[in-house]
Structure 1
Amino acid sequence: MRKITRTLVAVGAVTAVAAMSACSSGGGATRSGDVSFSTEATGTLNAWGFENADDVGTSRLDYAADQLGDVEVEIDQTSFDAQKFTTRVAGGNVPDVVQMDRRFVATYASQGLIMPLDECFSIHDVDPASTYYESVLDDVTYDDGVWGVPQFYQPPAIILNNRVLEAAGVAPEEIDTSQPDVLLGAIEKMYQESDGNPTLIGFDPVAGGQAGLWILGAGGMLVEDGKPTLDDESNVAGLELLKRITDAQGGYAKVKSFTDSFDTFGENNQFVADQVGAQVNAQWYVNVLSPYVDALDISAVPFRGVDGEPFAVAGGQAFVIPANAKNPDAACSWALELTSLDAWKAAGEARAATLSETPGAINAGLFTGSPEADTFVREQYVGESGNAGFDQTISTYYDAVENGETFGASPAGQQIESELNNAVQSVLLGDKTPEDALADAQNAAMRAYDQAVG
């Protein structure tokens, strides 16, 4: 029997995770020895995830359904919401498996709200250490246990607008985040303004959404043994560099106002319109640009850490099993089937079929969280596109994925990210010094940490 029921329900925005402690049993993380799994997957499985599923998602859902013929899968296909989840936990009405950002996983693990999955992996003969990138596995590892089944890994790199660089006499090698003075010199050559407002920015660091990348890449440290370390003095350098970059282009407020006006997903996007010389982007953005290949001249360079080597941070989702799940055996089997090599092969085939229906479409590959799956999809479906710039860009992302580091798993993971973004904004706007902003962020993050583990 093969059946998938997909339920679409509108939900509110994601809320702060601090309220979760009110729903916790107070018992802390459940140890691996207290949880057992079986390979017998039967009955009804209630899942939450796969909102707006594309061909990659639907092909994997179909594959898992074929493998688990005795399981009836019912899916709430809405985005994860912390308030909704904790409300369901408090009411005893939890799904069997939930898809969420990996930054949430350690928070729920510390509260005892999800199950450790070491035995889930073990009874299915899956070795997490050899299945996933180390940085991806680190994201879901807490208190010596693995608490989530990872999927996806979107590495960052810097996409270059070759037309803008060439017009300004800037070489790609000058877009080097490990050499601030060289980078700022290149920015100065490319930057253009009118009446004090940017009309072309040399380099968009995407400060509001990539704060962790800049801090860690400059040698900083956000988490140590699960505890926030936002006020560590090593975090100052990344903030100072971000401020130098935005100040060199009219200041953060003007840069943000300008970048907010970009037609990011449209035919007049910032690369087509020559509004940017270089920009930090996650790998998925290559797919956004590919329909406009004839109007573009792009290439890419890696984001480089303080040592000059390519640098990336892990990011993506994971499947977790709530502590009071009614069908954990089916949940374990389903999550592992969805992220198996064969499931990713099916996804790679589905994506290639979709692209074949669009003349000139470029296959940028899949970045799954699994080295073996990434290699298979690349070798099978990612060939020369006929556009050297796009091919080089795609290759740069594949190189970047091998150099990943984790943000650091913490019971206050989501709060750390939120407070770091607040600190970055206050520094870039000139409201606080980096030291004061990071100290305030640390105090707030530690309150969340103490509440989570207390």
Structure 2
Amino acid sequence: MKKRRAALVAAGVTFALLVSTGCGGDDEGTGANAGTFDANVSGTLKAWGFNNADDVGKARLEYAAKQLSGVKIEIDQTNFDAQKFTTRLASDDVPDVVQMDREFVATYAAQGLIQTLDKCFTANNVTPKQRWYESVVGDVTYKDQVWAVPQFYQPPAIILNKTVMDAAGVTDADIDTSNPDKLLSAIQKMYKANGDVPATLGFDPQATGQTYLWTVGLGGKLIGDNGQPTLDDPSNVYGLELLKKITDAQGGFAKYKSFTDTFDTFGEKNQFVQNQVGAQVAAQWYPNVLSPYATKLKLAAVPFKDKSGKPITAAYGTSFVVPTKAKNPSAGCKWALALTDDGSWNAAAEARNTTLQGKPGSINTGLFTGSPGPDKAIRDKFVKPSGNAGFDQVISTYYEIAGAGKSVGATPAGQQMKQELTNAFTAALLGSKSPKDALADAQKNAMNAYKNVTGG
């Protein structure tokens, strides 16, 4: 949970393999069991996921196994790999359920390689928008159908280093993404350099690590209603232009990037301990990294805000899908639902709390499951005052913004689109292309990927 999940193979390879399988775009699938789900399950379940499961994962697996007591569960506990997935689908070695990044889901849905789960939800009395945050459901909804069981949701907010801010006379209210002039002024007050090399950033916007936040979070649109990429939509230019002003005010993107690459992000000399940042966009898992150093830090947090001043967030996460040719799709989907129900998350939270109790000074920041009900229950039961008011306020900020999430949407070109957007950001921030031209070029490449997957 503490790391952003990266694709393990290039998107171009994925697309080529998808086409080579010869699968069409039949939304209901072509397998013998496609589209058929029953709440009563038995037999053998072949699952793929939970590589190197931690205390949370192990507790959930144990809980889910009890809910499917009549089913023999066999798990391939390795990382998802797109090439391995399509190879297995082309053979008879097809898993019944697979854990993967949500950005892959529409790609496989468009090729007819996975099943829509609407009938599974009906059979098991699950209403997706009641169980999960609406934005999370949006990530796995394609052509008005839900194709996966989502899990986890680590929304980004802005963590403040009050030591740096106080020294520069900057207030929490100054770190406001809805007010560029105020934000840039605060950045200039905090920014320090040794010669022309950054020494302290006023604000680390995670320039190429939070591309969705800097587009859809500021009114942009990356995916159209039909799943086509819309990277060249004029509304996407604003966020990229603001981001360039932010990096230009701190030595320029190249020097900014070189400096942030030196951060000991997960270590005891991290950028907050070393006062290398005044503020930083960070996903919800990062306070867990900072908790061992809480007594050395003076922290607070504010939400990222849209142009109107309202809190907004855009998150990533993983999910479970059921392949079209699964032999036991009912068990596959029911297992995924068991892993994401209230009981499973409570078991996970109990396990995590026990782990933290064995580490003196640890702070329980809660679990962000993708479901509002369990999130609240876990917070109420396990997230207690730590004695550090600033750190507690950071935790509260993440809980407060969870409901303000905005889905980017789902596209068959998901991974490729994300890569092209990152390329566009890099080119624009370096100044080699204007934001408009960079996004236009990225759109061409994303559309080529879209056409490769969908057949045009």
Q: Secondary structure at the match of 1:159?
A: strand
Q: Deviations over 1:258-304 (max 9, x none)?
A: 11111100111000011110000000001011011111111100001
Q: Deviations over 1:101-155 (max 9, x none)?
A: 1111111111100011111111111111211111001111111211100101111
Paired residues of 1:215 and 1:238 also in contact (CA < 8 A): yes
Q: Secondary structure at the match of 1:100?
A: strand
Alignment partner, residue 23 of structure 2: 25
Residue 91 of structure 1 deviates from its aligned partner by 2.4
Q: Secondary structure at the match of 1:318?
A: strand
Alignment partner, residue 108 of structure 1: 108
Paired residues of 2:158 and 2:304 also in contact (CA < 8 A): yes
Paired residues of 2:304 and 2:313 also in contact (CA < 8 A): yes
Alignment partner, residue 13 of structure 1: 8
Task: Map 1:12-411 to 2 at 5 A.
Answer: 13-16=8-11, 17-19=14-16, 20-30=18-28, 35-225=35-225, 226-411=227-412
Between the aligned partners of 2:19 and 2:244, the Cα distance in structure 1 is: 36
Q: Secondary structure at the match of 1:224?
A: coil
Q: Which amino acid is 1:350 matched to?
A: A
> Does 1:423 find its partner at 2:424?
yes
Residue 81 of structure 1 deviates from its aligned partner by 1.4
Q: Which amino acid is 2:421 matched to?
A: L
Structure 1 consecutive aligned stretches of length 4 or more whose deviation exceeds 3 Å? 31-34
Residue 249 of structure 1 deviates from its aligned partner by 0.5
Between the aligned partners of 1:440 and 1:307, the Cα distance in structure 2 is: 29
Q: Which amino acid is 1:440 matched to?
A: D
Q: Deviations over 1:18-59 (max 9, x none)?
A: 222222412432279961111232222111111221111110
Q: Which amino acid is 2:79 matched to?
A: S
Deviates more, 1:415-424 or 1:21-30: 21-30
Structure with the largest fraction of strand: 1
Paired residues of 1:139 and 1:408 also in contact (CA < 8 A): yes
Q: Which amino acid is 1:164 matched to?
A: V
Residue 217 of structure 1 deviates from its aligned partner by 1.7
Paired residues of 2:101 and 2:317 also in contact (CA < 8 A): yes
Q: Secondary structure at the match of 1:107?
A: helix
Paired residues of 1:24 and 1:113 also in contact (CA < 8 A): no
Between the aligned partners of 2:209 and 2:26, the Cα distance in structure 1 is: 31
Q: Secondary structure at the match of 1:122?
A: helix
Between the aligned partners of 1:184 and 1:52, the Cα distance in structure 2 is: 42
Paired residues of 1:128 and 1:137 also in contact (CA < 8 A): yes
Q: Secondary structure at the match of 2:278?
A: strand
TM-score by length of 1: 0.95
Residue 13 of structure 1 deviates from its aligned partner by 3.0
Paired residues of 2:224 and 2:230 also in contact (CA < 8 A): yes
Between the aligned partners of 1:429 and 1:23, the Cα distance in structure 2 is: 39
Q: Deviations over 1:328-363 (max 9, x none)?
A: 121011101000111011111111111111111111
Residue 234 of structure 1 deviates from its aligned partner by 0.7
Residue 14 of structure 1 deviates from its aligned partner by 2.4
Q: Which amino acid is 1:380 matched to?
A: K
Between the aligned partners of 1:61 and 1:243, the Cα distance in structure 2 is: 44
Q: Which amino acid is 1:21 matched to?
A: V
Paired residues of 2:217 and 2:406 also in contact (CA < 8 A): no
Q: Which amino acid is 2:141 matched to?
A: T
Q: Secondary structure at the match of 1:396?
A: helix
TM-score by length of 2: 0.95
Q: Which amino acid is 2:10 matched to?
A: T
Residue 205 of structure 1 deviates from its aligned partner by 0.6
Structure 2 unaligned blocks of 5 or more: 1-6
Between the aligned partners of 2:132 and 2:386, the Cα distance in structure 1 is: 28
Between the aligned partners of 2:78 and 2:243, the Cα distance in structure 1 is: 35
Paired residues of 1:28 and 1:453 also in contact (CA < 8 A): no
- Count of aligned residue pairs for this structure pair: 444
Q: Which amino acid is 2:212 matched to?
A: G
Paired residues of 2:153 and 2:315 also in contact (CA < 8 A): yes
> Does 1:453 find its partner at 2:454?
yes
Paired residues of 2:29 and 2:324 also in contact (CA < 8 A): no
Q: Secondary structure at the match of 1:56?
A: helix
Q: Deviations over 1:366-400 (max 9, x none)?
A: 11111101010011111111100111000000011
Identity %: 60
Residue 430 of structure 1 deviates from its aligned partner by 1.0
Alignment partner, residue 3 of structure 2: none
Between the aligned partners of 1:186 and 1:300, the Cα distance in structure 2 is: 15
Alignment partner, residue 4 of structure 1: none
Between the aligned partners of 1:214 and 1:380, the Cα distance in structure 2 is: 34
Between the aligned partners of 2:8 and 2:115, the Cα distance in structure 1 is: 25
Paired residues of 1:227 and 1:410 also in contact (CA < 8 A): yes
Q: Secondary structure at the match of 1:377?
A: helix
Paired residues of 1:139 and 1:314 also in contact (CA < 8 A): no
Q: Secondary structure at the match of 1:352?
A: helix
